Amino acid sequence: MSSETSVDDVVEKPQNGLAGLKHWRHDLMAGLLVSLTSLPFSLGIAIASGSPPIAGLMSAIIAGLIFPFLGGAYVTISGPAAGLAPALFAAMLALGHGNREIGYPLLLAVICVVGAIQVVLSLLGAARLSAVFPVAVVEGMLASIGLLIIAKELPHFLGQEFRAHDFFSILAEAPSQFARVDPHILGMGGVCLAMMFGLSHPRIRSRLPVPAPVLVVAVGVVLGLLFGIDDSHRISIPDNILKHGIVLPNFPGLFADRSLAWVIVTAVLTLVLIDGTESLATIKAIDRIDPFKRRSSPDRTLLAMGISNMMSSLAGGLTIIPGGVKSKLCIVSGGRTLWANFYNACFLLLYLFAGKALINLIPYSALAAILIYTGYKMCEPAVWRHVAHIGREQLFLFATTVVVTLATDLLVGIGVGMAVKLLLGVVTTVRHDLARKAVAPAAGIQHGIAMACRFFANPVGTRERLGDCYVIRFNGPLVCFNIPHLNRELRRIPADVSDVVLYVGERVAMIDHTTCDNLMYFIEQHRRSGRGRAELIGIEHMHKTSSAATSRRLAAVPIDSGTTISGPHPCI
């Protein structure tokens, strides 16, 4: 069965565990192709994090050996993530007071603590709370990470040691570094970067026998040999990996220096937040393109991540999350279960011990080119246009998150993005209610405070079963902050009902983009399940703020509270 298989043509959905081993032919080939991309990515991410190259491979190997046995998702490929590289690098410098050799073992201890917290959070069912993050803030976080990756990789791309470490300082220093760069290294990096853009074009990519990063690395190795670049500009993996390549966490040092207390707290919060948010957003995105339309378990995935992070740190590895690029490649390559992740780890082990000499020929600039391209894809103009198409308020929220993150750090950027989202939502609804004369001008401030409180309350007024139909009536704003309530209500829908009606009442002042997207996804999933129909009624009375299907909705004219549900539905 090809990767384009429709759910309607599938009799049996592949499962993880021992039952999934019967799909070994599909998963083995997918694991092989993924490993060819995972190798340069893992090495490059480790370097971008300021860690030894071996750390990236250890992370990917441990993830592949652990995730298939813990489950949670189906075709995701887990390992070190480019998105966490800037946060890991910053934490390492802060923990080591600017010294990476001191900071790296301390960072490993922090990663272990992060893993333990993730395990506890998964057992408490906290993964579902990730839904409160607005889509625009998450996308803004990823775009800012993409820009940070580009900036952080400039030193490796140019083969120069930069004094600056933050985004704007790196950009300011870049012109002077370009002036004294080795033309061979710059030329090699330029060729590799041009190849990444050229080979990644859909028409060319579909005809490649192997993933584009593999060809880029191969060309980089050849150019490095032709130019005779110094070993200091190449990967270096120790001969005795177990004795000289693995660094252990420094737990005593982490708690011995009291001046590090705030740094530790900040690092842990940042990694837990970004690791969880990006991971759960990734598995949700992969679920949507899974040809078998299976649903991942957020809490189970968080548990697998926590255990993997703890094991990875103990072996000198980095943080582990499901990766979007590798997971998509797994699907395209025909992968069906998490065993593809396991085979990916087995191939990486083979490369590490049998092809170490070849790995040590890979130039840093070739890996930097791959990561710069990855960073560009996270923040390219198409991303900005997509956000702008959804709505101007989404673009404002997105841009605010990007600018604040680049000027400060990821944790502050997300916090400010969330605060701006809340303030923007309250101001918009109050102004809209004043315009509709639904509230007196003198009560504007009081109404705003009340509306802010309602943003966190359960938006469901009533729920009832009418035969084989289940009706949920909303009587409050549907925004990202109360999505956990909404999702809990949707999960409680009896499994034996066929049709679901979601009715938007007159007291629903707003449906934001995040919630609208969530509801549309639920309706589509219910339809695909074959149980019956799901309809969202009443939303047609609301005002769309853009032409996008999932744009924000605002209450237009008041609907008579006595109006009954109407429409072509059997249970009405």
Give the range among 26-40, 135-149, 428-442 with minimum mean pLDDT.
428-442
Pick the range with the lowest mean pLDDT from 33-42, 175-184, 282-291, 433-442: 433-442
CA 68 distance to own-chain centroid: 20
User: Minimal CA–CA distance to 352: which of 322, 388, 325, 315?
Assistant: 315
Backbone angles phi, psi at 343, to 5 degrees: -65, -35
For the chain, the average pLDDT equals 89
Domains of the chain, CATH where assigned? 15-381 (no CATH), 457-555 (3.30.750.24)
Of 439, 432, 514, 447, the C-alpha closest to 481 is 514
pLDDT reported for residue 2: 41
Task: Quote the percentage of the chain above a pLDDT of 90.
Answer: 67
pLDDT over 90 (residue 436): no
Q: pLDDT digit string (tens) for 372-384? A: 999 999 999 999 9
Quote the DSSP letter at residue 470: E
Q: Which range among 240-254, 299-313, 335-349 shows the weakest confidence by mean pLDDT?
A: 240-254
Q: What integer pLDDT is reported at residue 245 of this predicted model?
A: 66
pLDDT band at 434 (very low <50, low <70, confident <90, very high): confident
pLDDT number for residue 565: 44
**Where are any strands of DSSP class E within 43-181?**
77-79
Given a cut of 60, whether residue 11 has pLDDT beyond it is: no
Using 50, 70 and 90 to split pLDDT, how confident is the model at 416?
A: very high
pLDDT classification of 4: cutoffs 50, 70, 90: very low
Nearest alpha-carbon partner for 286 in 76, 137, 542: 76
Angle at 12 between CA 7 and CA 13, to 5 degrees: 65
How far from 62 is each of 109, 319, 511, CA to CA, in Å?
A: 17, 11, 42
Side by side, which strands form the sheet with 460-466? 460-466, 469-474, 499-504, 534-537
Sequence-ordered list of residues with C-beta below 8 angstroms from that of 429, at least 6 positions apart, any chain: 451, 477, 509, 510, 554
Residue 431 has pLDDT above 90, yes or no: no
The pair of structure tokens assigned to 400 is 């605010």
pLDDT, position 7: 41
> What pLDDT does 547 receive?
93
Q: How confident is the model at residue 564 (pLDDT cuts 50, 70, 90)?
A: very low
pLDDT category, 229, cuts 50, 70, 90? very high
Nearest-angstrom CA–CA distance, 28 and 26 = 6
The H-assigned helical ranges of 290-363 are 298-314, 324-332, 339-354, 356-359
> Alpha-carbon distance 345 to 67, whole Å?
11
Positive or negative torsion for Cα 244, 249, 255, 259: positive
If you average pLDDT over residues 116-133, what whole number do you get?
90
Strand order through the sheet with 553-555: 510-511, 553-555, 542-544
The alpha carbons of the chain give a radius of gyration, in whole angstroms, of: 25
Predicted confidence at residue 429, as pLDDT, reads: 85
Evaluate if residue 570 carries a pLDDT over 80. no
Percent of the chain scoring above 70 in pLDDT: 94
Burial code of 445-478, b = ≥16 C-beta within 10 A, e = fewer? eebbeebbebbeeebbeeeeeeeebbbbbbbbbb
pLDDT value of position 571:
58
Phi and psi at residue 498, to the nearest 5°: -95, -45
